[in-house]
Amino acid sequence: MARQATLSALMNLLSIYEKLEAVLKKLPEGLHKPILREIEPIKTLFLQQRPPRFVLLGDRGVGRAAVVNALYGASAAQTADDVTQSGVWDGYALSGRGRMNVLDARRPIGMPVLSRPLGAESADLYLYVHGPKEIDENFAADLDHAAAVVAFADGQHAERPKILGLQLGEDAGEDQRLELHGALFTKPALAERTIGALLLSYRDKAAEQIAIELPGAAQLEMARISQIRSLQHQIAGVVVKSVTAMCGAIGAQPIPLADFPILTSLQASMVASIAHVSGREFNAKLAAEFLGALGANIGAGLVLREGARAAVKLVPGWGNAISGGVAAAGTYAIGRAAVAYFIDGASLADARNIFRRKGKPKALLKEKSDSE
């Protein structure tokens, strides 16, 4: 059910961006090409979005549910799942929080069983897990098995995923982490791919490092899964920057009133995208309601934009530039308010205050200072 909702949301997003592209192509030739370049990264980020794929290696004594739930920061897997190994990619999901696929490739499951799932899809990251027990004689066998798994997968796919050690245990500390880190480098076949070891009890740091190591198509879903604000801010920032640039360019064109459906569509898509980054499903209705609650409706925008043009119409050439700046500043303010509300958990009243303060986008200020 959660997967169907996500697919439906992404199809909705694709439909909106396709309509936007059709409208943008009607703009002057010199304008629509740079705008389409700005919209492409957003389409890539959202429309190629997929669940991250993790292969578990190492200590079979560590519960698979413990790893999955730590990454979610919530209960997405049941401890009963740990009794057996399925030999397939298991999907885990929480409503509105994204989905991950996990292949438990630890001993005692053998390569004849693992060959099919490993051959079907490449891992994004190998997670070598170790529990609170001391490293013993079983560790060498676990390393050998891990090396066999990695070698087989390398023969099936061009991707070369990294290996990250995760030390579990409430009382696990720096000594245990360093011990795991060093032990992973004792196996040459694994050492060249190992990026280190982290304490899973430091969830935010572990989730952030995992997201960094994932391919771009899986990073958005990891931000939704982990709810790590720094990751969500980074992705939302890309959206706000691109949409602000597009709206500024459109607002500067000498086409009074005609550009408002484009501007409002872009701003609504930006809000819906930010809400999606926060963990919600992409929802155009939610975006429209948020814009209305901010007071960022078409009537208010019309007065601001056309008022700016009228105020400077006696100065040839400046009216369009100023109205473009108004469109950009208003869009940036909407983006800041949406990030505060959906990602930071600010109240609607606080988000409204952020929007009303507006101010020039930092990127625009930097560009202006650079040109001076």
Q: 140 lies in a domain?
A: yes
Instruction: Judge contact between 165 and 94, C-beta under 8 A.
Output: no
pLDDT of 109-129, one tens digit each?
A: 999 999 999 999 999 999 999
Is 297 part of any domain?
A: yes
Write down the residue that tokens 């919530």 correspond to. Answer: 74
Does the structure show a pLDDT above 80 at 298?
Answer: no
In a domain, 219, yes or no: no
| Per-residue confidence (pLDDT) for residue 250, from 0 to 100 | 74
- How far apart CA 54 and CA 200 sit, in angstroms, is 15
pLDDT digits (tens, 9 = 90+) for 209-252: 999 999 988 999 999 999 999 989 989 998 999 888 888 877 76
- Indicate whether 297 and 360 sit together in one domain: yes
Whether residue 161 sits in one domain with residue 30? no
Task: Write down the pLDDT at residue 1.
Answer: 44
Q: How far apart are CA 35 and CA 173, in angstroms?
A: 50
Whether the Cβ atoms of residue 308 and residue 319 lie closer than 8 Å to each other = yes
CA distance 141 to 137: 7
Report the alpha-carbon distance of residue 145 to residue 57 in Å, rounded.
8
In this prediction, residues 315-343 reach a mean pLDDT of 74
DSSP-assigned states of every residue in 168-189: --TT--HHHHHHHHHHHTTSHH
The residue among 188, 213, 238 that closes a domain is 213
Q: Containing domain of residue 61, as a range?
A: 53-213
CB contact at 8 A, 336 and 358: no
In a shared domain, residues 42 and 58: no
Neighbours of 341 (CB within 10 A): 24
Same domain, 91 and 126: yes
Least confident stretch, 46-50, 308-312, 342-346: 308-312
Is the omega angle on the peptide bond into residue 188 within 30 degrees of 0, that is, cis? no
Confidence at 275, pLDDT banded by 50, 70, 90: very high
Q: Please report the sign of the dihedral spanned by the C-alpha atoms of residue 215, residue 24, residue 244, residue 270.
A: negative
Number of domains in the chain: 2
Same domain, 63 and 31: no
The CATH code of the domain that includes 171 is: 3.40.50.300
| 193 in the same domain as 103 | yes
Q: What is the pLDDT of residues 167-209, one digit of tens each?
A: 998 888 999 999 999 999 999 999 999 999 999 999 999 999 9
Q: Are 59 and 159 within one domain?
A: yes
Amino acid occupying residue 39: I
Q: What is the pLDDT of residues 75-109, one digit of tens each?
A: 999 988 788 899 999 999 988 788 999 999 999 99
DSSP code for 258 = T
| 3 state SS of 368 | helix
Residue 320 reports pLDDT greater than 70: no
Angle between helices 318-338 and 284-294 (to 10 degrees): 110
**Which 3 state secondary structure label does DSSP give 236?**
helix
- Look at residue 218 and tell me if it is in a domain: no
Last residue of one domain, picked from the residues 213, 246, 268: 213
pLDDT at 364 over 50: no
Greater pLDDT, 168 or 369: 168
Contact 118, 152 (CB under 8 A): yes
In a domain, 183, yes or no: yes
* pLDDT(21) > 70: no
With 90 as the cut, is the pLDDT of residue 262 above it? Answer: no
Token reading at 148: 């066999």
220 in a structural domain: no
Are 32 and 119 found together in one domain? Answer: no
Residues 237, 209, single domain; the answer is: no
Please check whether residues 187 and 167 belong to one and the same domain: yes
Task: Give the DSSP H/E element, type plus range, for residue 194.
Answer: strand 194-199
Average pLDDT over residues 321-345: 82
Model pLDDT for residues 45-79, shown as the tens digit of each residue = 777 889 999 999 999 999 999 999 999 999 999 98
Does residue 129 sit in the same domain as residue 278?
Answer: no
Q: Report yes or no: 131 and 95 within 8 Å, Cβ to Cβ.
A: no
Residue 11 sits in the same domain as residue 131: no
Query: What would the mean pLDDT of 273-299 be, rounded to a whole number?
Result: 80
**pLDDT the model gives residue 254:** 60
Comparing 62 with 13, the larger pLDDT belongs to 62
Would you say residue 193 lies in a domain? Answer: yes
Contact yes or no for 300/352 (Cβ under 8 A): no
Q: Can you tell me whether residue 165 is helix, strand or coil?
A: strand
pLDDT at position 287: 87
Q: How distant is the alpha carbon of residue 281 from its chain centre?
A: 13
138-154 residue pLDDT tens: 899 999 999 999 999 99
Domain finish residue from 153, 186, 213? 213
pLDDT value of residue 102: 98
In a domain, 273, yes or no: yes
